[in-house]
Chains A and B, each alone.
Chain A
Amino acid sequence: EAQVTQNPRYLITVTGKKLTVTCSQNMNHEYMSWYRQDPGLGLRQIYYSMNVEVTDKGDVPEGYKVSRKEKRNFPLILESPSPNQTSLYFCASSSTSEAYNEQFFGPGTRLTVL
């Protein structure tokens, strides 16, 4: 089944404790992206990647890191999480690097930073 997977789905952590949210897609997609979604706000892009070893900042990259060492994986790293990073996070992928292609979203990771 074609899908985007994220782990963990739920995470409660404390300020300053490094964490990684994994994202993997099995559709051989070139483009992958991370978003955060907060009440009353639209999806905001954190980072995106147009291909292996190519990553770029989105609208809200501060406090986050990413890597794209393999085509299928695009982990999101929070080196020192803070309470303002409490949010719902989505990973997404699409078949090409052009944004006008349909994006496929993972199930989401609900992160709480205490």
Chain B
Amino acid sequence: GQNIDQPTEMTATEGAIVQINCTYQTSGFNGLFWYQQHAGEAPTFLSYNVLDGLEEKGRFSSFLSRSKGYSYLLLKELQMKDSASYLCACVDSNYQLIWGAGTKLIIKP
């Protein structure tokens, strides 16, 4: 079966760094997305990785290891507005998206 695992909830301190992990088992692999979703709002796109390695985009970076079925989202210089859920989603061999349940990130002052 297809499965994506992420921690349910994480807590971090304002100004710090946090890493949100995502492991996946899918039938085929055509890339991995990270989306941000504030409570009660729509998900918004953060990143897409299809090749191994780290991609940096401002305070946010996303890493992918295809051989390990593993990705992480790294958030630096955390701000209160980063409090949100972070959704990991994989594109399978049929080019369909498989979504994880999301990680709720709580930022404390």
Please give the residue numbers on chain A whose beta carbons come within 8 Å of chain B beta carbons, in ascending order.
Answer: 40-45, 58, 90, 98-100, 102-108
CB of B12 within 8 Å of the partner chain = no
Most-contacted residue by chain B among A44, A90, A102 (CB, 10 A): A102
Q: Is the interface of A mostly helix, strand, loop or mixed?
A: loop
A40 to B87 Cα, complex, angstroms:
12
- Find chain B residues with CB under 8 A from A90 CB: 42-43
- Find chain A residues with CB under 8 A from B41 CB: 107-108
Contact status of A99 and B42, CB under 8 A, knowing A42-B4, A42-B87, A42-B102:
no
- Find chain B residues with CB under 8 A from A99 CB: 30, 91, 95-97
Q: Is the interface of B mostly helix, strand, loop or mixed?
A: loop
A43 and B48 form a contact (CB under 8 A): no
- Find chain B residues with CB under 8 A from A108 CB: 40-42
A90 to B31 Cα, complex, angstroms:
22
A42 to B96 Cα, complex, angstroms:
14
A42 to B47 Cα, complex, angstroms:
18
Q: How would residues 87 to 109 of chain B score, 1 for a CB under 8 Å from any chain A CB and 0 otherwise?
A: 10101000111111110000000
